[in-house]
Structure 1
Amino acid sequence: MTSHSISLGAFNLEAQDPAALAGFWAAVTGATPSPGGESVYLPPAGPGGFAMFFQPLTAPRPAHQASHLDLTVPWGSRQAEVDRLVGLGAGYKWDVLDEYPHVQWTTLADPEGNLFCVAEHPPADRPEAER
């Protein structure tokens, strides 16, 4: 049987202003942007991080966003992280707090309207009634 090793190389986004959007995401992740021509590469900020690549918008944005980032933070820190990201320029959209016992999340939009979520998962040793 063959063993496979696959990882995320980068999450790619088209942007009206690639440098500005990369600047927002650099503040979110703590990474340092690396511009190249009209595009900007944002490397992972550290082990376990993820890269992003921003390039000029080539067509109008679709009315429905088919994919988005789910970012995970430690249990109990979601609201503080959401507040930090809103302070950086993210737009608040909605919370999903009681629908699922294994996760709570807040959906935000970056300055160009791309949706992303900030999620927290309760510790596995936490009683079900407290989740």
Structure 2
Amino acid sequence: MATRLVQINMKAQDDAALGRFWAEALDWGIDSEAPGVTNLEPVGFAYPDPVAVCIDIVAYPDPKTVKNRVHLDLATTSAAHQAELVARLTDLGARPADIGQGDVPWTVMADPEGNEFCVLDPRPGHQGTGPIAAVVVDCADPRAMAGFWGEAMDWTLHEVTDDHATMRSARGVGPYLEFLRTPDTKSGWNRVHLDVRPYRGDDPAAEEARLLALGATDPGVDRSAISWTVLADPEGNEFCLLSPL
């Protein structure tokens, strides 16, 4: 048994407006839109497929107050492309963000609801990822996080150091999943989290038990009105275990 990263879940006070921003930013389509939920994926995409990690934007009344533990890194192909993308995102409603990054070759921005993201400088390793180069998770121990997620998913571990760990789908396509050592501590529920999905025919209860045995925890979310399971990784970051597909 194994899971794979299929989407990120992002809370928003106005899911429709934020969905329009990210659809324009990534040149993606709005796959479905219901009251309080906006789903984004590439045009013509057949879900699920590791060539893309989709985005679910879900309405949530509380405003963002702290730096997100999970953010997106956007890929660029040249310095000119990076500058053009920053300008286009600014026109769409993004703004520069200072998270203490100092003088770095990438540009840190925030979307219209304040969610941080990075427009990366061109990097050979990110060519072919699609518009999202990586989904990045802040953590205290990248090695331990890579150990857990490397067992939880069937993705391939590419690099592990004390400060950084990188994974990618077993097919070598789509964005990377990166764990970045930061001094910040988790505060409250994550407004952005990972959604993973087992494969068709897998037993959801057995998969939940397997993840718990690997070091996941149960944060005690009421399951009476939902069809998925909310768990937390060893550093307390919530994630959703969706139904097999």
2:71 matched residue in structure 1: 68
Is 2:32 the partner of 1:24?
A: no
Q: Secondary structure at the match of 1:55?
A: strand
- Asked if the contact 2:13/2:62 (under 8 Å) is kept, the reply is no
- Asked if the contact 2:64/2:113 (under 8 Å) is kept, the reply is no
- Asked if the contact 1:44/1:50 (under 8 Å) is kept, the reply is no
TM-score relative to the length of structure 1:
0.74
| Inter-partner Cα distance in structure 1 for 2:44 and 2:75 | 15
Identity of aligned residues (%): 34
2:33 matched residue in structure 1: 35
Q: In structure 2, do the counterparts of structure 1 residues 65 and 111 end up closer, same or farther at CA, with 3 Å as the change threshold?
A: same
2:7 matched residue in structure 1: 10
Q: Which amino acid aligns with 1:40?
A: T
2:109 matched residue in structure 1: 108
Q: Which runs of 5+ in 2 are unaligned?
A: 46-50, 126-245
1:62-100, Cα deviation, whole Å (9 max, x unpaired): 423212111111122211110111011101125x6965x
| Inter-partner Cα distance in structure 2 for 1:79 and 1:92 | 13
Q: Which runs of 5+ in 1 are unaligned?
A: 125-131
Q: In structure 2, do the counterparts of structure 1 residues 93 and 43 end up closer, same or farther at CA, with 3 Å as the change threshold?
A: same
RMSD value, Cα: 2.6
| Inter-partner Cα distance in structure 2 for 1:5 and 1:72 | 25
| Inter-partner Cα distance in structure 2 for 1:10 and 1:23 | 17
| Inter-partner Cα distance in structure 1 for 2:44 and 2:76 | 15
Q: In structure 2, do the counterparts of structure 1 residues 28 and 57 end up closer, same or farther at CA, with 3 Å as the change threshold?
A: same
| Inter-partner Cα distance in structure 1 for 2:3 and 2:69 | 26
Q: Which amino acid aligns with 2:69?
A: A
Q: When the two structures are aligned, how many residues end up with a matched partner? A: 116
| Shift in Å, 1:113 | 0.4
TM-score relative to the length of structure 2:
0.42
Is 2:121 the partner of 1:86?
A: no
Q: In structure 2, do the counterparts of structure 1 residues 46 and 73 end up closer, same or farther at CA, with 3 Å as the change threshold?
A: farther
| Inter-partner Cα distance in structure 1 for 2:44 and 2:103 | 32
